Amino acid sequence: MKEVVLGLLGLGNIGGGVWDLIREFGGEVSKRTGVKLVVKKALVLDKKIHRGKEVPDEVLTTEKNDILEDPEIDIVCEFLGGEQPAASMMLRALENGKSVVTANKMALSLHFDELREMAKKTGAGLYYEASVGGAIPIINAIQTPLIANHIEQMMGIVNGTTNYILTRMAAEGAEYEIVLKDAQRLGLAEPNPTADVEGYDAAYKLSILGSLAFHSRVLVENVYREGITKVNSEDIAFGREMGYVLKLLAIGKDNGDSIEARVHPAFLPADHPLARVDGSLNAVYLYGHSFKDMMLEGRGAGDAPTASAIVGDIVQAAQNAVHPMPVMRKDPLPVADDWYSKYFIRMKAKDAPGVLAEVAGLLAKEEISVSAMTQKDAGPDGKATLIIITHMAPEKAVQRVVKALNPEICKVENVIRVEG
């Protein structure tokens, strides 16, 4: 039996979940793997406050160096969240030759290169399965079972909060603000939901996934990001009429000479596998040249699913004589600032002769063809809702059309990309 000594940086929601899982299921893990997990120290802000977990007093510490500098501790598990001091603590642990396991997508995304280089330098392991998709083994899948593939495309629902909100809006015809308040009341959205609803959380995750899948560093600042706050029930209802379901997607594509990396709401055909992923579930859809289509789906958040992935990483770190390290291109591919997609364009137009001709003329000027068009009856203001779905077109060309339209005649109210 191999005994592995752990130090936990943080004992909040995730750290507490890991503590519980090791305490309750550690014996079974030992039987299955031959690895005995022993938590020596857990860092907390106050020993008197540790989420009510049954943790012996001698395990609790308020001093980070009781973990980072202790030669008996083999693996450091980071659960602090945020960029700092989490990143610097992980870097110090790796510098001291300790393997690191983390679920922290923000610190990992922003400091991926230096953490990876330090791990390579000291021979320590860096494991982060839980940083994307909770219990879904997407990172392991990309790095090991699917390594003999050129992954050309990935699309993911990687934020449970926004998926819950969009699912409720679609099912009930409710508006965004109402569903958000319910999600906050139920604890599915933070009091300040910006990281989720504006796409920051998904962008960090795409930075990690894209870097691994395409073997080319995708910096989070190069990920195009757009949240769900401009989506309303009309968009969802009109999209459904035309056979589409709306999701917040993290999209990565390897175009050969560039990479697409973008987070935004997107319509999917109703029969697409991702379109059926509802509630707070997460899923990642991949396309590779050898395996073709694949989707992994599961719980993307919560203390228990996240703890499952973390303990799995701990066992791998303990068993590996040599720790796996992703290989990146020496010269990263550029991240594209333009891409091809279909577009759902919703506008309010004067119910008058010549309006459609003006819209069609601007689209034709940019060589954008129309796949479908529908018009709703004019309201009391004399303006009708006009919806156009284009064929594949460049993003920048569509934006030029939107800017060129005279708002007195035809005002664009929303533009949503169509994938799948």
Whole-number Å distance between alpha carbons of 348 and 375? 10
Per-residue tokens: 35:
């690895």
Residue 293's identity, in one-letter code, is D
The tokens for 261 are 């990396």
The structure tokens listed for 289 are 């040249």
What does the block give as tokens for 90? 């992980």
Which one, of 279, 255, 297, lies nearest residue 151 by Cα?
255
**Cα 189 to the chain's mean position, in Å?**
15
* Structure-block tokens of residue 63: 């001093």
194 vs 118, 202, 390, CA distance in Å? 32, 12, 31
Q: How far is CA 356 from CA 238, 242, 345, 398, 405, in A?
A: 19, 20, 13, 16, 11
Return the percent helix, strand and coil in the chain, to nearest 5.
35, 25, 35
348 catalytic residue (yes or no): no
**Residues whose CB is less than 8 angstroms from the CB of residue 335 and which lie 6 or more positions away in sequence, other chains included:** 218, 219, 222, 223, 258, 259, 260, 261
The whole-angstrom separation of Cα 64 and Cα 57 is 16
Residue 212 CA, distance from chain mean position: 14
CA 332 to CA 310: how far, in whole Å? 29
36 beta partners:
3
**Phi then psi dihedrals of residue 84, to 5 deg:** -125, 145
Annotated catalytic residue: which of 41, 64, 105, 205? 205
Residue 282 has φ and ψ, to the nearest 5°, of -115, 160
How many Å apart are CA 95 and CA 121, to the nearest integer?
8
Could you give the residue numbers annotated as active site? 205
